[in-house]
Amino acid sequence: MAKYIFKRLLRSLLTLFIIVTIVFSLLRLMPIEGYFQNFEKMSAVQVELGLKELGLDKPLPAQLLDFYSDLLHGDLGVSNKYRRNVPVTKIIAEKVPVSMAIGLTSLGIALAVGLPMGILMARSTRTKHKIGDKLGTAFIVLIQAVPAAVYYLVIQFYGTKYLDLPMQISSGRPVTYILPILSLALGNIAYYAMWLRRYMVDESNKDYVKLARAKGVPASAISRKHVFRNAFVPLVQFIPTSVILTLMGSLYVESLYSIPGMGGLLVNVIQRQDNTVVQGLVLFYAAISILGLLVGDILMAIVDPRITFGKKEGGR
Burial class (CB in 10 A: 0-12, 13-18, 19+), 199: buried
For the chain, the first-to-last Cα distance in angstroms comes to 14
The pLDDT assigned to 114 comes to 92
Average pLDDT estimate for 148-153: 88
Quickly count: other Cβ atoms within 10 Å of residue 28's Cβ.
15
The pLDDT assigned to 313 comes to 43
Buried b or exposed e, range 140-174, using 16+ CB within 10 angstroms = beebeeeebeeebeebbeebeeeeebeeebeeeee
The pLDDT assigned to 304 comes to 67
Does residue 294 or residue 62 have the better pLDDT? 62
| Residue 81 pLDDT exceeds 70 | yes
Average pLDDT of the residues of the chain: 82
The pLDDT assigned to 310 comes to 52
Distance of CA 6 to the CA centre of its chain: 23
| Residue 1 pLDDT exceeds 70 | no
The pLDDT assigned to 307 comes to 60
Q: What digits encode the pLDDT tens for the residues 206-262?
A: 888 888 888 888 877 777 777 887 787 777 777 777 777 777 777 788 888 888 888
Architecture of domain 89-313: Orthogonal Bundle (1.10)
The pLDDT assigned to 70 comes to 84
Quickly count: other Cβ atoms within 10 Å of residue 83's Cβ.
16
The pLDDT assigned to 51 comes to 77
Does residue 55 or residue 165 have the better pLDDT? 165
Q: What digits encode the pLDDT tens for the residues 4-49?
A: 778 888 888 888 888 888 888 887 777 777 677 777 777 778 878 8
Task: Indicate the domain borders of the chain.
Answer: 89-313
Does residue 295 or residue 22 have the better pLDDT? 22
Cα–Cα distance measured from residue 64 to residue 84, given in angstroms and rounded to the nearest whole number: 23
What's at 120, amino acid-wise? L
The pLDDT assigned to 137 comes to 92
Work out the pLDDT band at 139, boundaries 50, 70, 90.
very high
Return the closest-CA partner of residue 242 out of 189, 302, 307: 189
Residue by residue, DSSP assigns 252-281 as HHHHHTT--SHHHHHHHHHHHT-HHHHHHH
The pLDDT assigned to 306 comes to 62
Work out the pLDDT band at 314, boundaries 50, 70, 90.
very low
Using alpha carbons, list the distances in angstroms from residue 283 to 133, 143, 266, 277.
41, 30, 12, 10
Average pLDDT estimate for 110-129: 88
Average pLDDT estimate for 55-72: 84
